[in-house]
């Protein structure tokens, strides 16, 4: 197992290297003049000011040279500084990444807590009204955009109830966990609800396949109760494809947090990302993409390791 993990971590290096190259080139294709944003309306008209800004931020060099310089910074674990504010990107992400991670973990928990039981019920009660209701619910969650649900909920909350209205200020979990939970739970439900649709459908499909196996019929013939057969024998084997779906939903949750954080004014990494794109803040956009890629690749590694725990017959060498 240790050799497998080391090999997987080593394979992450060319993946991240290729992604860094792609991100570096794409952000420079965005239309706009970053020098004009930095210098302001009056300073941007001065050639001397423009030349000084280009030199200070190494923007006077060609694209390959800029990429090599940025890659060297990344190798020293230096994410650079914001072109707009001048603050360290690393310090900004240090305060914003935990907020996004909290939202993502809550959304993953919501997707599993909501999707797994309904998927199991749909499989056990196949072609029953509960099965049809569960499948319809899953399709509805997959079809409805989470940002639209958030906007509708805020609009309805402002008129009919108050618990869905986002507060004006963010409360860190270290200061007031209850107030923080009240702020994060509604966005987490909206974000995790979309992912739960896929969990429901894959849980149902995997459970139906496992329930038709011979060892399940043998367990039932021995007189075991249906609850014991489902929870002790069928569920653990059916979880392997479900774990895959949960792992694959991580990029969707990370991407969805960009919109949800903007809608609910959550000071996380996604909201910072949107603001940086609007301001053509290249170092911030590049750093957030690399951090997001690290989260995704390590989530995939965790999914692969979980396979061997769920099924001891799976061995990595």
Domain presence at residue 83: no
Nearest partner of 91 among 105, 80, 102, judged by Cα: 80
- Inform me whether the pLDDT recorded for 44 exceeds 60: no
107-121, 144-158, 223-237, 296-310: lowest mean pLDDT where?
144-158
Domain presence at residue 84: no
| Residue 109 sits in the same domain as residue 221 | yes
| Residue 107 sits in the same domain as residue 239 | yes
Choose between 81 and 1: higher pLDDT.
Answer: 81
Average pLDDT for residues 291-296, to the nearest whole number?
Answer: 86
| Residue 266 sits in the same domain as residue 194 | yes
pTM over 0.85: no
| Residue 115 sits in the same domain as residue 186 | yes
pLDDT for 203: 87
pLDDT for 161: 64
Average pLDDT for residues 85-109, to the nearest whole number?
Answer: 87
Q: pLDDT tens across 59-75, in order?
A: 778 888 888 888 888 88
Average pLDDT for residues 107-125, to the nearest whole number?
Answer: 87
Neighbours of 244 (CB within 10 A): 17
Among 28-37, 169-178, 286-295, name the most confident range.
286-295
CB within 8 A of 316, min separation 6: which ones? 1, 4, 304, 308
Residues of the domain holding 303: 97-310
| Residue 207 sits in the same domain as residue 283 | yes
Domain presence at residue 6: no
| Residue 128 sits in the same domain as residue 215 | yes
First to last CA, the chain: 6
Q: How confident is the model at residue 12 (pLDDT cuts 50, 70, 90)?
A: confident
For the domain that residue 162 is a member of, what is the CATH number? 1.10.3720.10
Percent of the chain with pLDDT over 90: 0
| Residue 69 sits in the same domain as residue 111 | no
- Inform me whether the pLDDT recorded for 310 exceeds 60: yes
Q: How confident is the model at residue 317 (pLDDT cuts 50, 70, 90)?
A: low
H helices present in the chain, as ranges = 2-27, 34-43, 47-56, 63-75, 89-124, 129-143, 146-160, 177-211, 214-221, 226-228, 235-263, 269-278, 282-310
| Residue 112 sits in the same domain as residue 250 | yes
Average pLDDT for residues 181-185, to the nearest whole number?
Answer: 84
Query: For the purposes of burial, counting CB atoms within 10 Å of the CB of 153, is it exposed (0-12), middle (13-18) or buried (19 or more)?
Result: buried
Domain presence at residue 13: no
Compute the radius of gyration of the chain from its Cα atoms: 24
Domain presence at residue 31: yes
| Residue 62 sits in the same domain as residue 108 | no
Domain presence at residue 2: no
Mean pLDDT of the chain: 80
- Inform me whether the pLDDT recorded for 142 exceeds 80: no
H helices present in 212-265, as ranges = 214-221, 226-228, 235-263
pLDDT for 25: 85
- Inform me whether the pLDDT recorded for 119 exceeds 70: yes
| Residue 123 sits in the same domain as residue 258 | yes
pLDDT for 240: 79
Cα-Cα-Cα-Cα dihedral sign, residues 237, 239, 245, 247: negative
Domain presence at residue 8: no
pLDDT for 314: 64
How many structural domains does the chain have?
2
pLDDT for 285: 87
| Residue 141 sits in the same domain as residue 43 | no
Average pLDDT for residues 124-151, to the nearest whole number?
Answer: 80
Domain presence at residue 139: yes
| Residue 103 sits in the same domain as residue 71 | no
Q: How confident is the model at residue 158 (pLDDT cuts 50, 70, 90)?
A: low
pLDDT for 4: 73
Query: Token pair for residue 312?
Result: 């001891």
pLDDT for 188: 87
Percent of the chain with pLDDT over 70: 89
pLDDT for 316: 60
């Amino acid at each position: 197992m240790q050799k497998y993990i080391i090999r997987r971590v080593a394979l992450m290096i060319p993946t991240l290297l290729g992604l860094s190259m792609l991100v570096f080139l794409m952000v420079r294709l965005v239309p706009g003049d970053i020098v004009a944003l930095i210098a302001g309306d009056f300073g941007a008209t001065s050639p001397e000011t423009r030349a000084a800004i280009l030199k200070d931020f190494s923007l006077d060099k060609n694209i390959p040279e800029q990429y090599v310089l940025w890659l060297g910074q990344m190798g020293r674990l230096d994410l650079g500084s914001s072109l707009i504010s001048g603050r360290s990107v690393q310090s900004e992400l240090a305060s914003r990444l935990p907020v996004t991670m909290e939202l993502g973990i809550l959304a993953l928990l919501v997707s599993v807590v909501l999707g797994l039981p309904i998927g199991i019920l749909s499989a056990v009660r196949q072609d029953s009204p509960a099965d049809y209701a569960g499948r319809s619910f899953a399709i509805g969650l997959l079809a409805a955009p989470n940002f639209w649900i958030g906007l509708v909920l805020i609009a309805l909350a402002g008129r009919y109830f108050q618990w869905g209205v986002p507060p004006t200020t963010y409360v860190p979990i270290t200061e007031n966990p209850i107030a923080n939970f009240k702020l994060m739970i509604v966005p987490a439900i909206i974000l995790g609800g979309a992912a739960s649709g896929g969990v429901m459908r894959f849980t149902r499909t995997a459970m139906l396949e496992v329930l038709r196996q011979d060892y399940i019929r043998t367990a039932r013939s021995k007189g075991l109760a249906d609850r014991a057969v489902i929870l002790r024998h069928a569920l653990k084997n059916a979880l392997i494809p479900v774990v895959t779906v949960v792992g694959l939903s991580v990029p969707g949750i990370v991407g969805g947090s960009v919109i949800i954080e903007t809608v609910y004014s959550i000071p996380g990494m996604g909201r910072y990302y949107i603001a940086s794109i609007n301001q053509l803040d290249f170092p911030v956009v590049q750093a957030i993409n690399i951090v997001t890629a690290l989260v995704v690749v390590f989530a995939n590694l965790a999914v692969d390791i979980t396979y061997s725990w769920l099924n001891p017959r799976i061995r990595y060498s």
